Amino acid sequence: MKYCPICNTASDKSEFVGEICISCFRKKGLHNLPGKLEIARCKRCGRVKSPLGWRWDKEATLNAIAERGLKTKNYKVSLKSLDYKAGKATAVFTTEVDGKSVDIEKEIELEVKNAICDACYKKAAGYYEAVVQIRGNLGKVETVIGRLTRYLEKRNAFVAKIDEYSYGSDVFTSDKKMTQSFLDGYRLHARKSFQLYGVKNGKKVYRHIYSVELDS
């Protein structure tokens, strides 16, 4: 039997961490843990800036932000909850003592900084790297455009604009590599050409033009 030197709780009444009860260990730890987290959030689309770039605020992304913003020696950090409107979040700090894993929950202040992510900035500027010229049955053209739009948005890219004609559409996309990946994945055979639009770091930069003929 041992007793906590802080609150005198006996070891048969509470779990101990080292020489003190777990309750006192957590209370003591709260004072030494950070209490504020800053998050940059795009005011247009809601993506947040993480160590991996601008991402949707899913669990893995938020935990990566917490690990960097609340970094504490000997602790791993994750977010249990987050409330943008209230400006609060609940962080879980996990440490190991004598081979035992111990969690400490702490409510922290959340400072949200309004920003514009790379994708929204480029979209507002009308930026595009490729044009997909889709020709054929208009119903099928519309279906392909929908699939392409969703495919790009899931990968932090976008459709900059669409020019519609009676015989099809021209779709302007922000990422030529993602566009090529979409065409390959859906087995849409395209004739490729190139259009020079500038020079960057002494190298010529080309837009990719893809021509796709759909079956009637």
Q: What is the pLDDT along the chain (216 residues), one digit of tens a residue?
A: 889 999 999 988 898 988 899 999 999 888 889 999 999 999 999 999 999 899 998 999 999 999 999 999 999 999 999 999 999 999 999 998 888 899 999 999 999 999 999 989 999 999 999 999 999 999 999 999 999 999 999 888 999 999 999 999 999 999 999 999 999 999 999 999 999 988 888 888 899 999 999 986
Q: What is the pLDDT of residue 216?
A: 64
The answer to whether residues 131 and 95 belong to one domain is: no
The answer to whether residues 90 and 139 belong to one domain is: no
Q: Is residue 15 part of a domain?
A: no
Q: Are 33 and 104 in contact (CB under 8 A)?
A: yes
* The last residue of a domain, from among 91, 115, 139: 115
Q: Which residues pair with 107 in a beta bridge?
A: 90
The answer to whether residues 108 and 154 belong to one domain is: no
pTM of the model: 0.72
The answer to whether residues 107 and 135 belong to one domain is: no
Q: Is residue 26 part of a domain?
A: no
Q: Is residue 205 part of a domain?
A: yes
Place of tokens 């030529």: 176
The answer to whether residues 203 and 147 belong to one domain is: yes
Enclosing domain of residue 147: 126-213
The answer to whether residues 201 and 132 belong to one domain is: yes
Place of tokens 């917490």: 66
Q: Is residue 12 part of a domain?
A: no
Backbone angles phi, psi at 56, to 5 degrees: -70, 150
Q: What is the pLDDT of residue 98?
A: 82
